[in-house]
């Protein structure tokens, strides 16, 4: 504020000599600067997959309304995405592959959009200040497609004569809805999917009401716990669905009608509740509001995937009879990989190593080999002369043998190093303290050292970050 009056004039005139008196010094002028709005990054910052995900915002939830016509292979949808800006945001990106965005609004106001490859860029009518929640609504559609053959197998939107399977890792969601496609940005998930009457549509979470009109049926599903985007799935076709309740939660088991009604797949999935209960004694309470599994008959799906609350199993796992090991593996992921998600894809051994260890636990529990015997079998047969670190496998080997087998051996070596009481405490603290969040290898090492009081750098270096053969614990 500019000062006036005699004392003020004297102070100016005598500034060289200084000024004293009853008046206070003039306050320093202040200015309020407008936010410096800038675009969000085109990638979330994963070292292995720089273009996965996007920066500048954090998604809270996806609410999807989708219609799929198998005869025309056409998908139309409306995605309502609630998020919060993590910077002063002038524009932001979502991942959307194969499909075209049509009408886009941000907080009810029309926004412009453009697409380059799998990147959908949205420019709202006005900048979004850091920390402000906002809602984006996108109408989109087209012919969804798959992402090609990756290390894990074919993924994305896999069409078939009866319907489709939307599945895949490390990415798949972007082939059927606009998404921030990286595990670091977990969000809740709601889906209403409309398909021809007489066709089943199964997804994640708690089943909601169905409604049929005009030859079309709408199926409803909701996942209230934050979920990594690659864990979102849809299975559309002819399925035998059994819905029960276990521990007060819906248990939904679906088996393709192309598989035997009481065949190996159905027998294996029927053990889901029993295996879940056993794993809960080791890992802590089951983390989600629903459970179950889906057995598909699509031969292109040569893998099983831990899709949240309802894993999907490819047919190859049941060609030799019932397979409880794969059920234990994917159910273990509900704790390790789903509830506690990886921070970056380099840390995938945290998912697969603990799931492999869970297979050994269930084998011992069900009267097979002990955990020690399973470890010994892998240790003695592992190709130690082959390259491949578990803790930093590289983008092309995130599903390599080192991640699974060396990862599982690392878990057992850690158990032996710190002792069963500390190890049991570690498992339950890890799944409790990181529930619904993300964590990395450094977090595990720090927690294990805190609980055990032991320095464990050498152990993890030998088992995770070396290609040499460690000494047997």
Closest CA to 180 of 276, 57, 343, 320: 57
Start-end of CATH 3.30.2010.30 domains in the chain: 238-333
Q: What is the helix (H) or strand (E) element at residue 462, kind and residue range?
A: helix 457-464
Start-end of CATH 1.10.390.10 domains in the chain: 342-464
- What percentage of residues in the chain have a pLDDT greater than 70? 92
Rounded Cα distance, 373 and 353, in Å: 17
Residue 1 above 70 pLDDT? Answer: no
pTM flag (> 0.85)? yes
Least confident range from 201-205, 310-314, 388-392: namely: 388-392
Q: What's the pLDDT score for residue 15? A: 33
Q: Specify the CATH architecture of the domain 342-464.
A: Orthogonal Bundle (1.10)
Closest CA to 264 of 211, 320, 224: 320
Q: What does the pLDDT look like over 82-118, one tens digit per residue?
A: 999 999 999 999 999 999 999 999 999 999 999 999 9
Q: What's the pLDDT score for residue 35? A: 83
Rounded Cα distance, 404 and 245, in Å: 32
Task: Show the DSSP H helices in 193-335 as ranges.
Answer: 264-269, 272-283, 324-332
Q: What does the pLDDT look like over 316-350, one tens digit per residue?
A: 999 999 999 999 999 999 999 999 999 999 999 99
Give the CATH number of domain 37-231; options: 3.40.50.2000, 3.90.1150.10, 2.60.40.1730, 2.60.40.10: 2.60.40.1730
Start-end of CATH 2.60.40.1730 domains in the chain: 37-231
Rounded Cα distance, 289 and 223, in Å: 8
| Terminal Cα-to-Cα distance of the chain (whole angstroms) | 75
Residue 255 above 90 pLDDT? Answer: yes
* CB of 80 closer than 8 Å to CB of 106: no
Q: Which two tokens stand for residue 427?
A: 């498992």
The CATH class given to the 238-333 domain equals alpha beta
Query: Alpha carbon of 109 to those of 38, 104, 125, 221, 435: distances in Å?
Result: 19, 8, 7, 28, 36
Q: What's the pLDDT score for residue 12? A: 31
Q: What does the pLDDT look like over 147-188, one tens digit per residue?
A: 865 555 678 999 998 899 999 999 999 999 999 999 999 999
Query: Alpha carbon of 343 to those of 64, 236, 332, 346: distances in Å?
Result: 25, 31, 18, 8
The CB density around residue 86, as the number of other CB atoms within 10 Å, is 13
* CB of 39 closer than 8 Å to CB of 56: yes
């Amino acid at each position: 504020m500019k000062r006036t009056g005699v004392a003020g004039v004297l102070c100016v005139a005598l500034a060289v000599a200084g000024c004293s008196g009853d008046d206070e010094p003039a306050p320093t002028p202040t200015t309020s600067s407008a936010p410096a709005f800038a675009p969000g990054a085109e990638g979330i910052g994963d070292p292995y997959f720089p273009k996965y995900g996007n920066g500048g915002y954090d998604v809270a939830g996806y609410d999807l309304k989708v219609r799929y016509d198998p005869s025309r292979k056409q998908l139309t949808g409306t995605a309502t995405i609630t998020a919060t800006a993590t910077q002063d945001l002038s524009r932001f990106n979502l991942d959307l592959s194969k499909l075209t965005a049509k009408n886009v609004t941000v907080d009810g106001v029309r926004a412009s959009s453009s697409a380059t490859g799998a990147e959908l860029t949205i420019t709202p009518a006005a900048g979004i200040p850091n920390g402000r929640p906002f809602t984006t609504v996108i109408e989109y559609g087209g012919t969804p497609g798959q992402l090609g053959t990756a290390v894990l197998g074919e993924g994305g939107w896999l069409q078939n004569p009866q319907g489709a399977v939307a599945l895949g890792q490390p990415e798949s969601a972007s082939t059927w809805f606009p998404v921030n496609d990286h595990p670091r940005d977990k969000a809740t998930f709601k889906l209403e999917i409309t398909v021809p009457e007489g066709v089943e549509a199964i997804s994640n979470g708690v089943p909601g009401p169905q409604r049929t009109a005009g030859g079309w049926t709408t199926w409803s599903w909701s996942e209230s716990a934050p979920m990594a985007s690659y864990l979102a799935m849809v299975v559309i076709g002819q399925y035998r669905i059994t819905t029960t309740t276990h521990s007060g939660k819906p248990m939904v088991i679906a088996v393709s009608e192309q598989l035997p009604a009481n065949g190996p797949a159905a027998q294996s999935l029927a053990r889901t509740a029993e295996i879940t209960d056993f794993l809960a004694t080791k890992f802590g309470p089951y983390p989600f509001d629903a459970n179950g599994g889906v057995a598909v008959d699509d031969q292109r799906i040569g893998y099983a995937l831990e899709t949240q609350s309802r894993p999907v199993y490819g047919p190859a796992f049941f060609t030799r009879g019932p397979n409880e090991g794969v059920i234990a593996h994917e159910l273990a992921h509900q704790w390790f990989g789903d509830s506690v998600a990886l921070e970056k894809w380099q840390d995938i051994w945290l998912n697969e190593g603990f799931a492999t260890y869970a297979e050994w636990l269930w084998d011992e529990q069900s009267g097979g080999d002990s955990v020690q015997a399973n470890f010994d079998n892998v240790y003695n047969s592992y190709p130690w002369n082959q390259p491949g670190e578990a803790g930093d496998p590289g983008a092309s080997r995130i599903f390599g043998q080192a991640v699974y087998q060396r990862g599982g051996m690392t878990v057992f070596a850690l158990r032996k190093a710190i002792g069963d009481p500390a190890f049991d405490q570690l498992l339950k603290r890890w799944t409790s303290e990181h529930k619904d969040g993300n964590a990395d290898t450094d977090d595990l090492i720090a927690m294990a050292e805190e609980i055990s009081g032991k320095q464990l750098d050498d152990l993890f270096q030998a088992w995770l970050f070396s290609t040499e053969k460690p000494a047997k614990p």
